[in-house]
């Protein structure tokens, strides 16, 4: 990740919820919603000569809003971490698995996606301000309750969330 990309991320993490589509756009990625991605496909990143970066993200428009947000963040993470492996197209299924990258690379993309949407600093601030409970935090960050549970476990080693 370049210093300029880090600056873009930090700029978009100043408040909640993080506007992940604007963040992606500022990274030079076009973002589209589509209904014809194929069975079980949540999203993809592919070459796009019309985008500033040369890549575009398409998310499955049939999936819930919070799922689409995480998918955009996940594809941004692939762009930031594994750009050389995207090739012409990298598709992720509902479990965020792809043929072009390893399980470990998917794990890293998921962790970065969570950090993009639920940055440690803003999570700590929300907890200090009294946002309590998975549902309350999930609403504030505009993520799914399961995504928030995973993030809480990761950040605070909470076993029983």
Confirm whether 152 is domain-assigned.
Answer: yes
Confirm whether 161 is domain-assigned.
Answer: no
Structure-token pair, residue 40: 């079980």
Q: How do beta strands 89-93 and 41-47 pair?
A: antiparallel
When pLDDT is averaged across residues 47-67 and rounded to a whole number, the result is 95
Confirm whether 62 is domain-assigned.
Answer: yes
Our count of domains for the chain comes to 1
Between 106 and 63, name the one with better pLDDT: 63
Confirm whether 58 is domain-assigned.
Answer: yes
Stated pTM of the model: 0.90
Cα–Cα dist 100/96, whole Å: 12
Confirm whether 112 is domain-assigned.
Answer: yes
Query: Using 50, 70 and 90 to split pLDDT, how confident is the model at 35?
Result: confident
| DSSP tag of 55 | E
Sheet holding 89-93, edge to edge: 30-34, 55-60, 41-47, 89-93
Give residue 86's domain range. Answer: 3-156
């Amino acid at each position: 990740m370049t210093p300029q990309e880090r600056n873009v991320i930090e700029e978009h993490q100043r408040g909640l919820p993080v506007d992940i589509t604007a963040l992606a756009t500022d990274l030079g990625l076009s973002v589209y919603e589509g209904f014809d991605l194929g069975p079980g496909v949540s999203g993809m990143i592919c070459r796009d000569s019309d985008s500033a970066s040369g890549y575009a993200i398409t998310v499955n428009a049939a999936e819930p809003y919070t799922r689409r947000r995480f998918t955009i963040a996940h594809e941004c993470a692939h762009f930031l971490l594994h750009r050389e492996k995207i090739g012409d197209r990298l598709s992720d299924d509902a479990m965020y698995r792809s043929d072009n990258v390893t399980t470990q690379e998917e794990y890293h993309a998921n962790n970065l996606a969570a950090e993009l949407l639920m940055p440690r600093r803003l999570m700590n601030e929300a907890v200090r301000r009294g946002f309590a409970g998975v549902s309350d935090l999930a609403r504030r960050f505009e993520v799914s309750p399961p995504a928030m549970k995973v993030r809480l476990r990761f950040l605070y080693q909470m076993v029983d969330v």
